[in-house]
Amino acid sequence: MAPASRIAARLADLSHAQLLEIAAAGCEASTEVKNRADALLAAHKPLAQWAVEGVLLSSDLVPHLLAPLQLEDGAAAAVCSRWAEGWKATSEGRRRLTRVAFDFPRHLLSKDSFVMAEIPGDNEHLLVKSGALVRNLGRDMSSSGPSFELPNFYGNVVASEEFIYNTKDLSKEVYCRTHDGTEVARYEDPDKCIDCYTLAPGGLLFCELFDAHDNTQCEIIALDAQTLQPRHRFGLSLLNYVCAMVVVGEELFVCDCGNDRLQVFSLAGEHRRSITGEWKRPVSLCLVKDRLYLIEEYDTAQDDDGELINPLQGRRIFVLSFHGDTLQVCTHPAVPAHGPFVDPLAFWDICYFDGKLLASVRNELAFVGVLAFGWC
């Protein structure tokens, strides 16, 4: 009998525990034995797919492994330099939204209406409409430029480097103004109410047209951003209660709130696709680099015990890819995970300003603050 056969015969009489002890000892004593064991394991008992994708290929493990190391230390840097380079080079795609300190002047908040809009350009400013009063704020949150009053508390505002666009609540008119409030142009629709939402490269202002008594009659109108002359309209029968829009490249993403989805059109009005997710009733949408940031309409529905049926709806910021994949969910820090309705704070609107994502927060009575989020 060959030596290998004699060993095999003797091993056959051993218990599982004894075989395990011998195998472990052999792997520790010999690199060749360990490599052979790895090969056998790979062939006969491969790792589950979740372990490969969620552990071995997960970039999220890298910061946990690098965090205890001081990369300025020569030895650690030498061991991890290529790993650290790879982490930094790919961190943009993994960036996470996180709360950051921000001191927004509370006296600028309003009970009735509060809207923020970025004024783009080299000298970036934040346009704030608090009630009917419009203010221009610098990065230090102090007034910069003239303030003026609009003829109506409600309605949206959008800003470019040259102009401000605004509407009035349940009005058929949209206005183009200079930054000091001087009216330059206006458009009045003969049939429907209008609200303005976003500007597109090439000089287009996209607005919603809606029937005040029938949300299913919504559509989008594209206006010339300087003259407010209509160019084209689209989306009728596809939309139910439009709440926000954002231009991404050559596409227009629209919050189709009543249908719990995003609708995507070309800038010429061709319908491209619909996007749904775990979020409901999208009411605000913001583009930052290659991510979309979405918030939902606040839901007050309660069960028979007086508890919220959807306690987190309206209290979350969803981070989405352009395909609609949810990459992160950031919940309002004051929101209870469960239990009765004790803290009626909810997100209302979001915009990007000075390297931060700003989210206005309100309760049932008034706007109570602005939270800021950064990326890590």
Burial class (CB in 10 A: 0-12, 13-18, 19+), 278: exposed
Can you give the residue ranges of every domain in the chain?
11-93, 97-375
**How far lies 130's CA from each of 101, 111, 245, 330, 337, in Å?**
22, 8, 21, 26, 31
- DSSP codes of every residue in 145-158: S--EE-S-S---EE
- Angle, vertex CA 163, rays to CA 160 and CA 169, nearest 5: 100
The phi and psi torsions of 41 (rounded to 5 degrees) equal -65, -40
pTM of the predicted model, to two decimals?
0.75
The pLDDT, as a whole number, for residue 299 is: 86
Backbone torsion region of residue 216, taken as left when φ is above 0, otherwise alpha when ψ lies between -120 and 50, otherwise beta: alpha
Q: How far apart are the first and last CA of the chain?
A: 66
Q: At what angle do helices 16-29 and 31-44 cross, to 10 degrees?
A: 130
Of 317, 315, 367, 370, which is closest to residue 342 (Cα–Cα)? Answer: 315
Amino acid (1-letter code) at residue 79: V
Report the residue count for the chain: 376
pLDDT at 37: 76
Q: Which residue has the tokens 């230390």?
A: 73
Count of CB atoms situated within 10 Å of the CB of 240: 18
CB atoms within 10 A of CB 9: 10
Across the strands, what pairs with 141? none
Q: Measure Cα distances from 41 to 34, 37, 93 in Å.
A: 10, 6, 34
- Please, are residues 356 and 339 in contact by the beta-carbon 8 Å criterion? no
> Strand 316-320's sheet: what is its strand order?
282-288, 291-296, 316-320, 326-331
* Residue 354 CA: distances (Å) to CA of 119, 121, 124, 264, 336: 11, 11, 7, 27, 30
Give, for all 376 residues of the chain, the pLDDT tens digit.
Answer: 555 567 777 777 778 888 788 888 877 888 887 777 777 776 666 666 666 655 555 555 655 555 555 555 555 555 566 666 666 666 666 678 999 999 999 889 988 889 999 999 888 899 999 999 999 999 999 988 889 998 887 888 999 999 999 998 889 999 999 999 999 999 999 999 999 889 998 899 999 999 989 988 999 999 999 999 999 999 999 999 999 999 999 999 999 999 999 999 999 999 999 999 999 999 999 999 889 999 999 888 888 888 888 888 999 999 999 999 999 999 876 544 444 434 558 899 999 999 999 999 988 888 989 999 999 7
Q: What is the pLDDT of residue 341?
A: 39
Helix, strand and coil content of the chain, in percent to the nearest 5, comes to 20, 40, 40
Kindly provide the b/e burial profile for residues 82-112, where b requires at least 16 CB atoms within 10 angstroms of the residue's own CB: eebeebeeeeeeebebeeeebebeeebbbee
Fold of 97-375: Neuraminidase (2.120.10)
